[in-house]
Amino acid sequence: MSAMDRGALIRALPYARRYARALTGSQSQGDEVVAEALKQVLANPPESLAADPGARVALYGAIGDRVRGAEVPPEADLTEMSLLQRMLLLLTALEEQPLTAAAAACRILPAAAELELRLARDSLRTGVATRVLIIEDEPIIALDIQELVERCGHSVVGIAATEAEAVALAEAERPGLVLADINLGAGGDGASAVARILKHLTAPVIFVTAYPERLLTGEAVEPAFVITKPFDPTTLAVATFQAVTRGVRPV
């Protein structure tokens, strides 16, 4: 394999980690899947691997191969959405892939992908609702996020602008989901706030950041769910749905 091929794969790894973590609902499981997917691609590299989009699609496809056939664990079996539909939602919304690339990664024709994606989006509208704590120091952005969260069918238990407020609100309200910005300015650090919250609360967390690659290195304890600023309503809806239903487990 050429140096260009390897460089494209290296650049694709953060996105592959984001996808695999969101799909499985776990950093450890997602990163394990990515490691196996990378071995698969290195052993059987496709012709399009030299280009960055080709490398990403190759890894997405290998990740799908690893988790295909997995079932949602019983405690998280809260929806009729299939694994294929989850994959297509994550690829098109979270990973911002065109339908043709998402279809290729899922090993299906674009027409079939379009139908499954339509069914998946319909399922989002009747998905599972939960109580959400928002950690965001910019008031206008926080209100925008609140509106999007409520449009997804969830309720907002509070908005925290600082680390201290976030910890106090989480203790008082016991949310089912935490949506946290990383940089809280003078108010502290969103990741630190979440770490303190999770000592006393078991809940999925979605981190919002303008620099997702910094949270997708695979070298430390990192989030399972990461979305990139700015994001649209569909991206948030998909991320919250996957976080609340806890993803799927690889076989």
Run of H or E residues at 109: none
Q: Is residue 250 part of a domain?
A: no
Average pLDDT over residues 215-238: 82
Indicate if 10 and 121 belong to the same structural domain: yes
Indicate if 136 and 215 belong to the same structural domain: yes
Of all residues in the chain, what percent carry a pLDDT higher than 70?
88
Q: Is residue 24 part of a domain?
A: yes
Is 213 in contact with 17 (CB distance < 8 Å)?
A: no
What angle is formed at CA 10 by the lines to CA 8 and CA 16, rounded to 5 degrees?
100
- Judged against a pLDDT cut of 50, whether residue 122 lies above it is answered with yes
Average pLDDT over residues 86-98: 95
Average pLDDT over residues 32-48: 88
Q: Could you read off the pLDDT of 132-153 as tens digits, one per residue? A: 999 999 999 999 999 989 988 8
Q: Is residue 18 part of a domain?
A: yes
User: Can you give the pLDDT at residue 70?
Assistant: 53
The domain tally of the chain equals 2
CATH of the domain at 174: 3.40.50.2300
Q: Is residue 251 part of a domain?
A: no
Domain boundary among the residues 92, 108, 125 is at 125
**Distance between CA atoms of residues 110 and 142, nearest Å:** 37
Indicate if 70 and 180 belong to the same structural domain: no
Token duo for residue 172: 């008082």
Indicate if 135 and 219 belong to the same structural domain: yes
Find the domain containing 13 and state its range: 3-125
Average pLDDT over residues 200-210: 89
What angle is formed at CA 67 by the lines to CA 62 and CA 70, rounded to 5 degrees?
160
**Distance between CA atoms of residues 6 and 50, nearest Å:** 8
Domain boundary among the residues 99, 125, 151 is at 125
Domain boundary among the residues 62, 92, 125 is at 125
**Distance between CA atoms of residues 241 and 95, nearest Å:** 15
Indicate if 95 and 194 belong to the same structural domain: no
Q: Is residue 231 part of a domain?
A: yes
Spatial strand order of the sheet with 131-135 comes to 155-160, 131-135, 177-181, 205-209, 225-228
Backbone angles phi, psi at 194, to 5 degrees: -65, -40
CATH of the domain at 47: 1.20.140.160
Q: Is residue 101 part of a domain?
A: yes
User: Can you give the pLDDT at residue 69?
Assistant: 55
Indicate if 138 and 232 belong to the same structural domain: yes
Q: Is residue 39 part of a domain?
A: yes
Indicate if 105 and 136 belong to the same structural domain: no
pLDDT higher for 128 or 40?
Answer: 40
User: Can you give the pLDDT at residue 5?
Assistant: 79
